[in-house]
Amino acid sequence: MIDFHCHLDLYPDPAAAAAACRQQGHYVLSVTTTPRAWRGTLALSKGAPRVRTALGLHPQLAHERHGELPLFEALLPETRYVGEVGLDGSPELRPHQEVQRRCFDRILAACAAAGGRVLTVHSRRAADAVLDAWERKPGAGTMILHWFTGSRRELERAAGLGCWFSVGPAMVRSSRGRDALAAMPPDRILTETDGPFATGLKGPLGPGEVEEAVAACGVSWRVPHDEAGHRLAENLRQLGETALAA
């Protein structure tokens, strides 16, 4: 299974979560929320070649952790993957909008200077602001908007800018989420869990538990479940090529 946005380090037992990925052969993008979490989270991927670790600074933490930006820049040469990063326009975070924007701009500039990265990006209530930043700092690489909840117009703008999308079980459970999925370019979609924050029918989603999202892709694309899985795997392969060429 492809789980392109999973917080392995935030499960109650991170080592067990990582071991499950290894045993089941999942392709996992293991994201972090602060640069200080990088070393420990990277260690979880040891012996698991299909688990890649992303260097992140979560927008909900930007106001507390912006002092770690120099560490972010120092670590960036070690990875091709960046996340979780982005902007969050929720009302309670409104006082921190400016520091979020500065952090995200600086992260995008660092990615561009490093020759481009694959980024998994949070855009809750801030899709246009994320896309504005993306246009302000060209050359940052390939942006995957995770659990996209923006408007149809914002989705079309993102697609027009070449963005990818990652969709998970929690997203496709709502009709709004399924409508968004139907409007996304099928060849730029991956699956994710956003575990352990997103929940499935039996509680927090484990790494790689994306079956409901694969099924929703099949319905949306009007193809059998297996074919949806093949197409998602092909998307991942294409992403690898795109990112390598960037």
Binding site for Mn ion (CB under 5 A): 84, 194
Nearer to Mn ion, 172 or 228 (CB): 172
Output 68 or 194, the one with its CB closest to Mn ion: 194
Query: Where in 7-133 does DSSP place strands (E)?
Result: 27-30, 51-53, 81-86, 117-122
Check residue 55 and report its DSSP letter. B
- Residue 154 CB, nearest distance to Mn ion (Å)? 19
Answer left, alpha or beta for residue 59, where phi above 0 means left and psi between -120 and 50 means alpha.
alpha
Q: Which is nearer to Mn ion, 4 or 134 (CB)?
A: 4
Q: Which amino acid is at 80?
A: R
Complex with Mn ion: residue 84 or 88, whichever CB lies closer = 84
Residue appearing with tokens 């490093």? 114
Least distance in Å: CB of 166 to Mn ion?
10
- Closest by CA to 190, choosing from 131, 115, 140, 242, is 242
Report the residue closest to Mn ion, judged by CB: 194
Residue closer to Mn ion (CB basis): 205 or 214: 205
CB 167 within 8 Å of CB 182: no
Least distance to Mn ion, CB of residue 124, Å: 10
Smallest separation, CB 117 to Mn ion (Å): 17
Q: How far is the CB of 129 from Mn ion (least distance, A)?
A: 18
Task: Please report where in the chains the tokens 């993306």 appear, as a residue.
Answer: 134
